[in-house]
Structure 1
């Protein structure tokens, strides 16, 4: 539309310069006027759409993202408390005297070890997904915001009643800060620790399997005596 209008204006000026007949000039003027009116209407509609998008961005999306960040902060605080309690329990168990405990692996010991191994593996998978999905989500929002903040260029823009463009909305600082914190997150160290924990459990599972097989052979040999 804009380029059609500009071409018609250029044609009108050219015809005027070359002294075209009045009838031709009137036809071109009518076409220019029609395009100008359509252009103004389209720009007003676009301004209204942009204004509504910005309203949704500032009044709905931003508060919901703030609430999401607050909820995630609460979640991580609760998780930290749980991990600290687990650490205290682990230290207490480490201090127990197990010299009198049964050293042989029972079937239920083996089953619980397999169960724990599976849970830790799933923990690693879900933690990795959570971090990756969150990074992708914030990157997508930042990419969208960059497009959202691009001003609409128009040679007729000043002639249209347009809402002022918010060049630095509140959501921008939130997304940039969120993105920076996610990029600095030491998730690789955490994933490595969980992976190593799972590897240790897998080794224990294999040792228990060997022990159970050996015990089964011994018991079978006893029955044959």
Structure 2
């Protein structure tokens, strides 16, 4: 569903951006014309998100290695400086002092080279973050907005359908016996699968957003001194790059969605279905016992059976209606959240463009 929500008609200028996506280019060489259209249709205009994340990880790893190497050099430099001071204090020979001094100078040069490398890698990461990752996240937000608008229409249609189906039911067309048991079992299986899939999808999405937001927080140099009155970092207050605003708002918005309420309603509906199936099994067993004993059903049994069927349908309808209503509310909240994130991200982009220093 997410992939389908990211469909768009690509213009001539946007097609040229596929050169930024080596995965799509390689795939187009290996498939037919129709397959090529399919691959291109599902590529992001801003380039391959996977490729960007992989390259960011590679550069982050290189940055980590450089910082670690610089730290080792700094420790050795401090040790040699102490040794040089000790040699001066003990009035060692000039030959010994000169040798140690040469080592100190060499270590100092290596540290300067390492720091320049760290700065260069950091700037490269920042450039990828702002010029590749941010447009991809904006595009993803736009796709999610379209997806949840479509999902809202679907869930509303489902709600209308189940309401009309319930009110137009007829007792003569109600399935009985094993047929009803199979229908309930299939409904239970489908709802259970949907509940698990939704939980897995939502948890994965929340983890993905939180991971990117947490990574961005590591890009911020926090002051060492702690102050009780110091306010927490706010990307808007310090006019940070707009990706900080987008990911912060997205992370907060994801946590505010009524996912727990939806999952609870699904679990409650599943519990009702299991109870109905157990009740149905007990009734079937009781019916078999009565049939064996009397070879006929007592008077009024048909009316009692119809009452049970009507009660069961009413219970299923109430539970399913509640789930669909919750899905509607979740979809509405998602649409509102993504539109809000998109709007505030654009405002942050405009503000940052006006306030950022020249040449940045």
TM-score tier by shorter-chain length is: 0.7 to 0.9
- Contact 1:128 1:191 (8 Å CA) reproduced: yes
- Contact 1:117 1:198 (8 Å CA) reproduced: yes
Kindly tell me: are residues 92 and 177 of structure 1, through their superposed partners in 2, closer, same or farther at Cα, counting changes over 3 Å?
same
Q: Which structure 2 segments of 5+ residues have no match?
A: 1-72, 223-237, 297-360
Specify the SS of the correspondent of 1:149: coil
Q: Deviations over 1:88-136 (max 9, x none)?
A: 11221232252x5245614333212211111111111122222222222
Specify the SS of the correspondent of 1:148: coil
What is the aligned counterpart of 1:148 among 219, 223, 241? 219
| 1:30 Cα deviation after fit | 0.9
Give RMSD over aligned pairs. Answer: 3.0
Residue 123 (structure 1) aligns with: 194
Give 1 or 2 for the bigger CA radius of gyration: 1
Specify the SS of the correspondent of 1:172: helix
Kindly tell me: are residues 195 and 188 of structure 1, through their superposed partners in 2, closer, same or farther at Cα, counting changes over 3 Å?
same
Tell me: higher relative CO, structure 1 or 2? Use CA pairs within 8 A at least 6 residues apart. Answer: 1
What is the aligned counterpart of 2:210 among 133, 136, 139? 139
Residue 57 (structure 1) aligns with: 129
Kindly tell me: are residues 97 and 109 of structure 1, through their superposed partners in 2, closer, same or farther at Cα, counting changes over 3 Å?
closer
Residue 113 (structure 1) aligns with: 184
Does 2:152 match 1:80?
yes
Specify the SS of the correspondent of 1:67: helix
- Contact 1:12 1:28 (8 Å CA) reproduced: yes
How far apart are the structure 1 equivalents of 2:75 and 2:175? 85
Residue 3 (structure 1) aligns with: 75
Structure 1 length as normaliser, TM-score?
0.77
How far apart are the structure 2 equivalents of 1:211 and 1:93? 26
| 1:10 Cα deviation after fit | 4.3
Residue 40 (structure 1) aligns with: 112
How far apart are the structure 1 equivalents of 2:239 and 2:92? 47
- Contact 1:5 1:32 (8 Å CA) reproduced: yes
| 1:81 Cα deviation after fit | 0.9
Residue 94 (structure 1) aligns with: 166
How far apart are the structure 2 equivalents of 1:104 and 1:174? 52
Structure 2 length as normaliser, TM-score?
0.51
Specify the SS of the correspondent of 2:172: coil
Q: Which structure 1 segments of 5+ residues have no match?
A: 152-165
- Contact 1:105 1:212 (8 Å CA) reproduced: no
| 1:66 Cα deviation after fit | 2.3
